[in-house]
Chain A
């Protein structure tokens, strides 16, 4: 069994096992164990890829290169830490009566299935399977979003389901069009035609530009819905705020990344066959719009998880903008930003989850004085916010700075909206978080059982990435950058 198979099978089998096992207390631990197995296998696989270069599995079904392997590791890692967090969190939710035992089983099972679908989406070599996995990810998370069965949760899940379903259907149409273009070019073995490796190798030779352009529009709208690009983003704040917090952490930290990954893969194809900057320009426009609008939305939030989900939209917009800009520096920055954003945002959601349990509500104006009631949570939230707002010495600062630099080089005038956007977003976060952390705690507020280990680990990693990108990681990013943009940033 190859490492890749372990990486994929562990969550799949884990999901089945957890579905059979029911709600026993050990389920939480098994969840963690499966996460660990996945992460371990992914890490070893990553090291192998790092040493020996891209791997194509037997039957060419899976393709692992520098770009997706690091996302695989990131996914497995955040999946692991979130499962560590979710054990006490979900137990607390059961105690509060928000979740029944049956649903806890559903939660655990779906959690692993969701991880499986994301890992599949990342590692597959087939654009069609990529689409299938993305749809699967939607289906599994729909159940998780509606876990609490409150009217709001149901409503959010429904919107998520319909909007993402529609979106992903557009992506399917785009995939069909790509297949159409490739098929008319290649003929031959039909099963190979949608393979990424095959497509990428023929793309330079000229897939039909008109078809590819149309396909890209459909794919952009489709996967863009999942990325949460404005104006396709409307499902995102609902789904993030109404689902259980571990779900929000993985949705923000991982699902958006995977969708963006799909988009970038497609963009690589399109760029290779179009020789214009159409794809990049569309992505830049989309990204900038999302970045600005989401920053404004931050100001008007009453719900803390909703606020941070808008922050996710904002950062996704920024990353899309970066990838859209292309060029080694921007791509490097966008890759780095993807990483640090996932780490930071999942840490923030974990902290926010504890904070909400502490205050018994998600309403910002009722969460106060965290730092006094439970300093670990208060500091976690504060540092997380500082990090996500792009303050040095955290890694987000470095990646945002890189993106700014790249913008300054390629599109000097766009630096201004970017800087304004940073300011607006920071103000939006600061005005809410400051009061949540430092305000006067309401009487009778008691600390809760919290596992801050994932937060500490995540923030530490982000800090580390901000202080010094470790050599192997830098080379890794560099390889990925070369893959995507064709040139090295270093």
Chain B
């Protein structure tokens, strides 16, 4: 749902702003760029604090919309200042990310659905160890995680790379302010990307790795083939769109032709192997090589290391010599995001409470410890709630207009008429 719904919004924006308006103003581009940057950064920061898997994914949608908007905004800026090629590049980046987001977010939501289906849990801290019980789902979810974290060689990386490339063409602009602003936006995009990676390390690591944190998670089974098939298809598409970006960009040429009467012939000018959005000297990326290298290393590793080695021995984890490992000793999702919570502390409203119960006896000993953490977006508390209250209060007050008394109504009408007559005469 998320993937498709959001597409519609972007679709509407693209269609209207490029198709109907025709003349694109760069001032709007700035607005879009700022909104995009802010929503991508805040989206990922809020996502980091979630321990409900679906909610986490939902916040990531905000982040990805932000990234798409950044591409669009830059595209508008470039188009508005007369750099048609670069504007097209930004548009291609945005469109590409739109497709990608649909794919990997769909995959991730399906994965979350699969986990929900088998464990009936949405809370990350009640999952854990699912990679052993649901290996295929885990693998496919991992593919989605890697893709959304914008890591090569998957599709998310390609579109973010294109966005970066667009941003790096900022020196072509005449306006010094823009030249300075766009790279900063790009740096914030990098921050977003790194935080997204952190978030998905957390999501995947807490949910699928380690030891099961609840009985339901311990008893989970792999989901039916039908569900896996759907996810598998999306995962394959994520990889394909990551490895063969040139083909995708060529396929998008008609769309950009339609919207801005321009396409990117240079992107695939060096053959399908090389993605060169502007020219090979400026930037190039070859995803097939990357995949090939990873496969080759694995192959070599297998040939030289695994084949001749004695089978590995299984033992207790070392863990610096600590004793028996239980699932309660693991890092929780809250703990995982604690450093980032400290660093970006101002973004959330954090309520932290530690209840300790000391036992009796001569030396007080802590018998029970309860840690409670509640984070909320400031945007919710400081913007939505007060506005909501304000609106309700206004709605409450405004009832006086509708007295139900026809005389009042007639007086309104009369007063309006007289007022207007007074104004115009």
A489 to B12, CA, bound (A): 18
Given the complex, which residues of B lie within 8 Å of A214, measured CB to CB?
A: 421, 424-425
Task: A393 to B5: give the CA distance in the assembly, Å.
Answer: 8
Residues of B408-425 contacting chain A, CB below 8 A:
408-410, 412-413, 416-417, 420-421, 423-425
Q: Does A17 contact B (CB under 8 A)?
A: no
Residues of B within 8 A of A321 (CB): none
Q: Which of A387-414 contact B (CB under 8 A)?
A: 391-393, 397-398, 401-402, 405, 408
Q: Is B293 an interface residue (CB 8 A)?
A: no
| CB <8 Å contact, B398 and A297 | yes
Checking A166, A217, A230 against B424 with a beta-carbon cut-off of 8 angstroms, the contacting residue is A217
B399 contacts chain A at the CB level, 8 A cutoff: yes
A163 touches B420 (CB 8 A): no
Type the 1/0 row for A145-177, where 1 means its CB is closer than 8 Å to any CB of B: 000000000000011001100110010000000
Within 8 A of A (CB), among B358-402: 387-388, 391-392, 394-396, 398-399, 401-402
Chain A min CB distance to B420 (Å)? 4
Of A170, A235, A237, A424, the residue contacting B417 (CB under 8 A) is A170
A158 touches B406 (CB 8 A): yes
A428 interfacial contact with B, CB 8 Å: yes
List the A residue with the shortest CB-CB distance to B425: A214
B16 touches A401 (CB 8 A): yes
Name the one of A159, A234, A298, A490 contacting B412, with C-beta atoms under 8 angstroms.
Answer: A234
Q: Are A163 and B413 in contact (CB under 8 A)?
A: yes
Give Cα A116 to B311, complex, Å.
Answer: 90
Query: CB < 8 Å: which of A231, A296, A490 contacts B394?
Result: A296
- Contact: B388 with A232, CB < 8 Å? no
- Tell me if A225 is interfacial: C-beta within 8 Å of chain B: yes
A:222-252 near B, CB below 8 Å? 225, 230-232, 234-235, 237
Complex contacts, B410 vs chain A, CB 8 Å = 162-163, 166
Interface size on B, residues (CB 8 A): 35
Point out the residues of chain B lying under 8 angstroms from A427, CB to CB.
Answer: 388, 391
Residue among B8, B20, B399, B406 making CB contact with A163, cutoff 8 Å: B406
Contact of A213 with B by CB under 8 A: yes
Distance (Å) between the CB of A173 and the closest chain B CB? 10
- Contact call B412/A231, Cβ cutoff below 8 A: yes
In the complex formed, the residue of B with least CB distance to A468 is B15
A489 to B402, CA, bound (A): 39
A392 in contact with B417 given A234-B402, A237-B402 (CB within 8 Å): no
Measured CA separation A423–B417 after assembly (Å): 31
Task: For chain A, give the interface size range.
Answer: 35 or more
- Determine if B310 is an interface residue (Cβ-Cβ < 8 Å): no
- Are A393 and B11 within 8 A (Cβ)? yes
Cβ of B21 within 8 Å of any chain A Cβ, yes or no, is yes
Judge if A102 is at the interface, Cβ distance under 8 Å.
no
In the complex, how many angstroms separate the beta carbon of B422 from the nearest chain A beta carbon? 10
Determine how close the nearest CB of chain A comes to the CB of B24; give it in whole angstroms.
11
Check if B135 is an interface residue, CB within 8 A of chain A: no
Report whether A282 and B420 are in contact in the complex, using a CB–CB cutoff of 8 Å: yes
Task: Check A300 against B413 for contact (C-beta < 8 Å).
Answer: no
C-beta contact mask, A464-490 vs B, less than 8 Å → 1, else 0?
001000000000000000000000011
**What B residues does A401 contact at CB under 8 A?**
12-13, 16
Contacts A231-B412, A299-B391, A300-B395 given: A217-B417 contact, CB under 8 Å?
yes
Q: Does A114 contact B (CB under 8 A)?
A: no
Which A residues form the contact surface with B (CB < 8 A)? 158-159, 162-163, 166-167, 170, 213-214, 216-218, 220-221, 225, 230-232, 234-235, 237, 278, 282, 293, 296-300, 329, 391-393, 397-398, 401-402, 405, 408, 423-424, 427-428, 466, 489-490
- Besides A300-B399, A428-B395, 7 more A-B contacts (Cβ < 8 Å) are A166-B410, A166-B413, A217-B420, A231-B412, A329-B21, A405-B21, A408-B28
Cross-chain pairs A/B with CB under 8 angstroms, 28 sampled: A159-B406, A159-B409, A162-B410, A214-B425, A216-B424, A217-B417, A220-B420, A221-B416, A225-B413, A230-B401, A232-B412, A234-B401, A234-B402, A278-B424, A282-B420, A296-B391, A300-B395, A300-B396, A300-B398, A300-B399, A391-B8, A392-B11, A397-B12, A401-B12, A401-B13, A402-B16, A427-B391, A428-B391
